[in-house]
Amino acid sequence: MLAVMLADIGARARLAARTLAETTSAQKNAALEAMAARLEKSSRAILSANAGDLERASTEGIGGALIDRLRLDERRVAGMAGGLRKVAALPDPVGVMTGGWRLPNGIQLQRVRVPLGVVAVIYEARPNVTADAAGLCLKSGNAAILRGSSYALHSNQAIGEALRDGLAEVGLPMEAVQVMEDTSREGARQLMQAKEWVDLLVPRGGPRLIASIEAEATVPYVIDGAGNCHVYVDAAADLDKALPIVLNAKVQRPGVCNAAETLLVHEQVAAKFLPQAAAELGEAGVALRGDSLARELVPAMGEATEDDWATEFLDLVLAVRVVSNLEEALEHIRRYGTGHTEAIVTEDRAAADRFVAATDSAVVVVNASTRFTDGEEFGFGAEIGISTQKLHVRGPMGLEALTTERYVLYGDGQVRAG
């Protein structure tokens, strides 16, 4: 029964994707503007649906952080509309020729960027993702199947209706954006395995969602994995740079994936750097957990367990280890890192080069904060997530991550000889 419904959704998405693939940038941008205007016009209906979701969530005893993410207000609705207009202003990734050459036999070869087709997004109780994901999918020429949290269903449906009205207004198929009514786990599982309908699955959520995708998905997906990010302060570090970098990487926004979780300090500078860093981090509310050498220098520090090295705290907690050389830092990162972002602070070009060459992470940073691993910071204009996998796309994902390339050959009757 559910599978039948998913097949309907999938078939409609496939049909809409066919239209979107041939839709011009001007039409897509007009749709994004119309969708933004409809969101603003439907603000009252969206907030009323959201009030209902909030009430149901609170009667189910849902906690504060989730409620905060679930809650919409005028400002957040305006933020969604603004996001769509910003996506309209970005360059269209579709149709870009990424390569072209003439074969010896005269055939003209072109490699061209095209939409993937149908993109499914599974996300948690953040209704703004409905608008954000729909906008990014539309701009990149893909039909979107949006499966949000059951807690946000009515909010998502109200947002979805406004977006679909915007599509219809400019003559594009409403089925280009579909909000799934079925928010059961079984429904999610079926979506993860709908190979016939889904060209890419993008999960936007925490470790439990990622684990479920990794265990159950058979459709192609790109994951936004954990960021157990390291900052290594080298023997040749300029400590006046190191201190602000460590503080920024840990404190500026501790709950995100590009925040630092472990500080590695070369023993030659540890005695000078660590007490000062501990004082400033402590003032910022950071709890430190150190190895024995770090605790000799800063006795007030807690003791780091084996688990601490492997933990993405996403909180004001920092593990601290003193290493005897660069290689020991690299070995630690290889053992505990998640391949997201690692930073080195050093004035020694050879040490920086060795760190870059020997670190197998999506982003390696020399003398700056790990927090720069971000699509907006990189200049992509919008970010779908940060990939920690190696295939298809790695690091911050912009609109191009929602496209693929194909070849077009123009000949004049050529046939192959051998």
Q: Which is closer to a second copy, CB of 68 or CB of 327? A: 327
Q: How far apart are CA 216 and CA 272, in angstroms?
A: 50
Please return the burial class of 322, using the count of CB atoms within 10 Å of its CB with bins 0-12, 13-18 and 19+.
buried
Cβ-based neighbour number of residue 100 at 10 Å = 12
Q: Which two tokens stand for residue 200?
A: 């890419």
Q: Which is closer to a second copy, CB of 214 or CB of 283? A: 214
Q: Which of 134, 247, 333, 382 is the binder for a second copy (CB under 8 A)?
A: 247
Q: Which of 245, 270, 274, 351 is the binder for a second copy (CB under 8 A)?
A: 245
Cβ-based neighbour number of residue 336 at 10 Å = 18
Smallest CA-to-CA distance from 378 within 351, 353, 357, 399 is with: 399
Residues between 298 and 337 with contacts to a second copy, criterion CB under 8 A: none
Q: Which of 21, 96, 168, 293 is the binder for a second copy (CB under 8 A)?
A: 21
174 binds a second copy (CB under 8 A): no
Reading phi first (left if > 0) and then psi (alpha if -120 to 50, else beta), residue 115 is in beta
Question: How far out from the chain centre does Cα 265 lie?
Answer: 29
**Looking at 64-72, 167-175, 272-280, 404-412, which segment touches a second copy (CB under 8 A)?**
404-412
368 binds a second copy (CB under 8 A): yes
116 binds a second copy (CB under 8 A): yes
Closest approach of Cβ 4 to a second copy, in Å?
A: 20
Q: Which of 87, 163, 222, 265 is the binder for a second copy (CB under 8 A)?
A: 222
Q: Which of 238, 267, 315, 328 is the binder for a second copy (CB under 8 A)?
A: 238
Greatest Cα pair distance, the chain, in angstroms, is 80
- Residue 165 one-letter amino acid: D
Q: At what angle do helices 207-216 and 185-192 cross, to 10 degrees?
A: 50
7 binds a second copy (CB under 8 A): no
Q: Which of 319, 365, 384, 397 is the binder for a second copy (CB under 8 A)?
A: 365
**Looking at 153-161, 184-192, 308-316, 360-368, which segment touches a second copy (CB under 8 A)?**
360-368
199 binds a second copy (CB under 8 A): yes
Q: Which two tokens stand for residue 322?
A: 């003193």
Q: How far apart are CA 367 and CA 238, in angstroms?
A: 9
Please return the burial class of 191, using the count of CB atoms within 10 Å of its CB with bins 0-12, 13-18 and 19+.
buried
Dihedral pair phi/psi, residue 139, rounded to 5°: -60, -35
- Strand 97-102 vs strand 108-115: parallel, antiparallel, or unpaired? antiparallel
362 binds a second copy (CB under 8 A): yes
Q: Which is closer to a second copy, CB of 185 or CB of 195? A: 195
27 binds a second copy (CB under 8 A): no
* List of residues contacting a second copy (CB under 8 A): 18, 21-22, 101, 103, 107, 109, 114, 116-117, 195, 199-200, 214, 218, 220, 222, 238, 240-241, 244-245, 247-249, 252, 352, 356-358, 360-369, 371-373, 377-379, 389-392, 394-396, 404-416
